[in-house]
Structure 1
Amino acid sequence: MERRKKVLLALDRLCRSKVPKDQMEVGCTAEEVARAAGIARSNASGDLNYLVREGLAVKFPGRPVRFVTRQYWEESKARNGREETGNLAIQEIEMNPFTSLVGWNLSLKVAVEQARAALLYPPHGLHTLLIGPTGSGKTLFARTMFRYAQTLGRVTGQAQLVSFNCADYAHNPQLLMSQLFGHVKGAFTGANQEKPGLVDAAHRSILFLDEIHRLPPEGQEMLFYLMDNGQYRRLGETGSYRSCITLVIGATTADPHSSLLATFYRRFPVVINIPALAERPLAERLLLLKQLLAGESRQIGRPLKVTADAIRALLLYDCPGNIGQLFNDIRLTCARAFLDAISKGANEIVITITSLPPHVRPRSAAEENYLQELAGLVLEEEWYIEPDKAGVTGTCHVPDLYTLLDKEREANGVDGIKSEAQWKRARQVLEEYYHRYLKETVQDWKNARLRLARLVGQDVVVLAQEAVKIAREDLPGQVDTNTFLALALHLNACRQRLKTGQEIINPYLEEIAKEYPREMEVARKVMALIEKRLNLALPPDEAGFLAMLFRTGKQGKEPVGEPVGVVVMAHGSRTATSMAEVANKLVGTSAALALDIPLEGEPQQWLIEATRVVRQADRGRGVLLLVDMEPLISWGEIIAKRTGLKIHILDNVTTAMVIEAVRKASRFPLHELVAEIGRYHYPEEYWPLEGQGNKIIVATCLTGEGTARRIKAMIREWLGAREEINIVTVNMNGQVTDSGMGWQALKGKGKLVAVIGSVDLKIPDVPFISLEEWLLGQGRQRLQELLQLPAREQDITPQELEAVLAQYLRFLEPGKMLNLCSQITRQLSQSLGRRLLPHHKINLIVHLSCLVERLQAGEQGSFWPGEEEIKRRYPREWLAVAEALAGLEKNFNITIPAGEIAFVVQFLQET
């Protein structure tokens, strides 16, 4: 804390003593504060961001990011004579109108930070240009900027946003300029009297000009005179200038470099890119759908019911017109469903797949493109939206971990010194939260995973997915589906607790860190992700709670309520009964019920008996039927219709299958139980491999089809004509695509060398190579060693490398970055007389591409230790790297910090 105080004092001194070089410069950089405080720049940057979160400093995004103290900022406001509003709590979400925008803290995060900085800049804000495709939401973003300006007191109380679309009068430049600036009598034919323009109305407010590129050159010149000097003349006026204090926000779909005068474009210090709908994550599109549908429900005044297939189609269809087209398509869909409801005399409007316009119907190719994102989403079976409620809602009352531990702490008086018994009891509380309360949650809250987004919000769901992914990589076999559910609930409780000002105290932090060091390390990684995504400052104690959540997952799946019903049906006098008895006896239960069907029996009579046994077996979670012959499979649909129960059937039953089903019936829901039993018990059959050798490589993806087959083709191309090596595609459930059998069947056909792809099957003693490792080159080197192939180097194809960049880059075009960065690697090879190996080239290209994107987004470059020493030891290499990177600086109008040059120089020395 002493260091943070030191940083705050240094920042305040700098703010009061520094003389800005120009109007664009406000505040101090982290590097300046670091020098003044005598600490490392990385530490200063972290401390400054902490002070912003605590409300003690104000942050201005840009290149570089700048800071001022809150006190200095408030004093500056008062000196400039602006009205105090008390609403400048920048970090308080409730006072920030930008939080109403879907994606404000994800895809629009950089845009929102730029907009806030533009509006906060003294004395009247900075003129801003919004760039984005048609329908991307530029007008809505401009309106939100106006609302934010109102909370800051930037505009007068009764002022309105003055909007004008320059395309409306583009065919008549004179009339366009008259609308904008007004005219005097006789200015042109038909100007019979003087008329004020929109600029007059925008005095002490904001002027929003849509399609600003349609403004004629003379209009652009008149406007930039207004922007520079706060003065203008009406059309035809020759006398003195009129005064107007206004902030101009322009919006364009065109390239501003080619459509605007260079002198006019430079008048916009802040340029904000609004992403297209296709560039935003599916999680945001899902929230947009809910928001738009809720708006239509309020407009119509009737409840909407949206089926699952309609939700999926609206989520995945190609929407080139972006949010504007999505809104129109939803409105047309609601109109069709509304007419259908009227014809049926129903109050509720039901939107099904047939309600959608033809171009919105589902496409299998579209779903293939989004498989990985879909895997991370929580899609409800259907939506029910009422006009008098805000969107789709759901309820679930789960005690949070903090409350439970607080009660335990108060009951036992734990503060400083803790006994072994108290720590033991605390561990029990933590484990009970994970197991018992989670179990009750699933029991009382049907389809808990599907409704999770309604309870905690889609942003928390996505964050929990990412956190679980991190934990799975570092704690293999220790994180399961229940961990995801518990983590999502816990993150929501964490956010609510901090927002309401409650402390997070974990008195057992030392004990947790001592006993579970690996889990603590993962918890700290996850904390960094949470702080970035939710814009929260988490105390160190939170790491202890997260570590225990990851630790409790190690025990494996716990019972999640009443078991799935298990019914064994087989022909013969005691065939089914004997299998069920063996299973029940071994597992110590009576869960499996049996039905022996005589070969000479009447089918209809035994179908009735089978229906009775299924009803008896059901405990509210469905029934698994294990049958001996294929004819009995047809009974499943009949029994399901008669009973209304969820039923699944597996044939070719064996005693081992029954034992496995009974053992896992209380630990898995029906669909997961089927996958668990089915993957190990497919009927044995002969299926040939493509090669004749005894080495097998497994290529994986979620479905075992699209990505896995492409990986297989890449591996085969890399290996060449090697028939002794087989390549097999497998899906996320461990099923071999070509045969439907479990991967275990491969053991009898050869040696499993490696698993390569997007899904780690966790096969013991078989190394996993991720798709990213394979594409970046390290994976090929590992496979080469595993197969004991002679050493060689093979370049990755441009298409593969472009696919890698697409995974890393948020808004830059991967193809363009690949070309520019490839030129840099060639230039460095020539100037330094050094051959870069393919995987070194790839790493450098990925690093430079991500660096450019970070700098364009206003983030700072990395600090690299020993920067001066590297520059002194390698002057020729330093000059070569600086010259090579100059092209990137020129292309993107950025400044690459010396620390990044130092990194590249050292990287080249180590290759």
Structure 2
Amino acid sequence: MTNKEKIRIKLKELSLKIDGSMEYGINALTIADKLGLQRNLVSHVLNELTKEEEAIKINKRPVYFMSKEVYEEDSDRFTLISDYIKEINYLNTNNDIDNFKELIGASGSLKDVVQQCKSAVSYPPNGLPFLLIGSSGVGKSFLAQKVYDYARNCSYIKEGAPFEIFNCAEYANNPELFSAILFGSAKGAYTGADSDRIGLIEKANGGYLFLDEIHRLPPEGQEKLFLFLDKGIFRRLGETEKKRHASVRLIFATTENPENKFLQTFLRRIPLILKIPSFKERPLKEKLDLIDNFYKREALNINRDIIVNSQVINILINSNAHGNIGKIINAIKLSCANSLNNTQEKRTKVLKVKINNLHKDIIERDEDISFNNLNINNMFISCSEKNDRDYLNTHINKASGITEELNEAIKELEKGKITEEEFFINGTKIFNDLIDHIVFNEKYRNSKNVIYRSIEKTVESTLHFMNLNYGIDYLTNSSEIMANLITYFVEFQNEGYIKEEISLIEQLSKKFHKEYKLVLKIIEDIHNNLDLEINKEVEIYLLIYIRSLDKSIQNNVNAIIIAHGHSTASSIAGVANRLFGKYIFEPFDMPIESSPLDISNKILEYVKTIDTSKGLLILVDMGSLETIYILLEKEIYGDIAIVDNVSTKLVLDIGSRILSLQPLKQIAEESSKKNVSKVNYIESTKKKTDVIITTCITGIGTASKIKDLLNSCFNEDEVKVVAYDYESLKENGKEDFVFKQYNVKLIIGTNDPKIENIPFISLENLIMKKADSVLFNTLKGIVDNNIIEKINKEAVKLFTLENVLNYLTILNPDKIVDQVEDALTNLERSLGFKLENDLKISLYIHISCMIERLVIKDPIMNYRDCEDFEQCHVHFIKMTRKAFSVIENFYRVEIPISEIGFIYDSIKNKVKNFDL
């Protein structure tokens, strides 16, 4: 029996056993464990069965599969899958419901802006007002229209809801007339007011009001908006008693810095401020898409195909036009008009746009343009309705399956199921599969455009630099391989990343800091040269690829070379690294005009990225640098050896000793004797900086907010606070990198990571004033008694439940406390026991932060062993969903299994023998 047949049978067998109201299906790992097969193989086969319509794929996290035969025989039993299929079918038939999709940059430079707009639209009960900032012509009005369309199509407002636009500049010098137009006026309010008139506020009731050029609104005009922003109440001009109500969603726009133009009291009433990038700030791909789109409009208008000369595109891409996108649109219209006017044969079907068709202003203004520096081809624009760049919408099911495999491997590494070496072995195979798919994909191969060629050229230059300076030898086709990978993600997959990828990069970048530095060099060069944003998944793939080329980059001792001159250190390090074929030496060039302090600051930035516990070897060229350790020894952990009179001969001798894994002291002493150099050896006596760590079981985001809250009690000069990842503390204990860098005095957070000999204070104990003695004893060893007394006074005022909730979330603390209280009461009834007060306060904080994450569409999905939790705690999940159903309905959210897992952990950590 083939593996495919085994997997098909096992999928059917397990599908028959699942609870269709609680489970979506079976994941690849479960089948792999049952059959003793590799998960990658099982995942590949399941995707094949899906294509062959023998399986149903449920694209959740993790991905589930279900036997199609089993589902169709009794679809009523599988309610979760049925709901999922209905949702997918709805989205497929209404794929234009997300009006932001037609906004170029919605998944790129405008991704965060769009996400925040959606959050503002969906925030109950009537959305959030927000301010759009950007220079003239960047598309603020267009975005406001898209927000309105999105709100209407998603039923946040009614189908026929109004959308009113008002330009404040028109009435900037007449506050009374402004008030009349905005709020309306009563009969007799001013000369000529012979009847009551409604204002824009009333006209926009139930919909949106867009106030453009809001900076032109005088202070008295801003003040008149306060009451309406706060309570939805207003009066018409001339009315003194009657209060009117309206439900209007407000969007403001300005070209100015809001801090300089608005009353602070007005700004405080606008919770969301969004900056729109200019055309110049847009990535290369978006600039090309915008130009393509605007020429497409003209092709449809004049009913002719258009060929745009490559030099025209190059000028438009590099344009510094002050009118931004609006100016580019006008330049494109005019270029088509000029070309059409100059065309000899008026009936010709193809219009050719050349440089002389552009207005002279756009060329003369940009004299520094380097013509065709991106090797751009001519652009062909068809006058038919079809998309000329269909490759951008290529289906990527297979590639999605491959990247899904990488994410599974990341999770396995995070859970400790595989070692780092096994991860790199699996990752190399996954990387090769993806490259094969990209290279042999005909649609992609035919779409190798200006972006690919520009990326390949940049990568090739970067690799040459790496070889000269770091001695890393690459395969002859390395630049092509990397360019294919990067271009593919820029074109098709650059839509963000999962939190596990961020965590993995942080973990691997410390252990494989030299490989990661090379990755960052590639990313940095592409960003600087081409203005392209690259996501974290690409960083992981590049790290895997570079690691596969040279598996022995890591050394026992970190060695740096410091020499006077613009390239002396780089030259010596480059020669040595190339001869050894390994990245051993890090160069720091020191121009004559630089001071030891300048170079020390550069080195300090470098050592923050590496582990110096095994020592740092510093090679210098002359006496002025020998004392550099004085500036470094307080910041570096581990011994320091400084050897002077650096030369290529000395560096080669030291490099061979480093590769032989000799200890730092032996390397320094023996090499200095052999090469007539002096050595200064400084044993580590550094006292690590005392710190308080803030942490949260749900991730670094909340930990950072707790840090900010603590910093309201004391400043960084008094007590240093560091926000840190809970899972890293829990898993690594005292071996974690943070304990090598700092002297951790105290941990404050939502859950105790149980670090030996490090006291822990929970947020709920701070609120309940149960942590005074621990806080006092900790601070006693860091600051004097006067500061401790000040901190205690501030903490009493600051750490109340309402204030903490107000600080950690954007939710109304009074309302959320009541809502969570009701939900916890329902949960207590289901559990059959009362929750202690300290646990309740902990849950108030955790659940409030969770609701905010769900409202802004940023839930935590990386709960450890999520699949096991879902299978083992079905009853608790069902009880929690029931208890929180009112909150889910009120905020229009759905609590995912991962978030329920964190609630379970919070209870289990405080309640003995709790297991449900």
TM-score range, shorter chain: 0.3 to 0.5
After TM superposition, the score normalised by the length of structure 1 is: 0.44
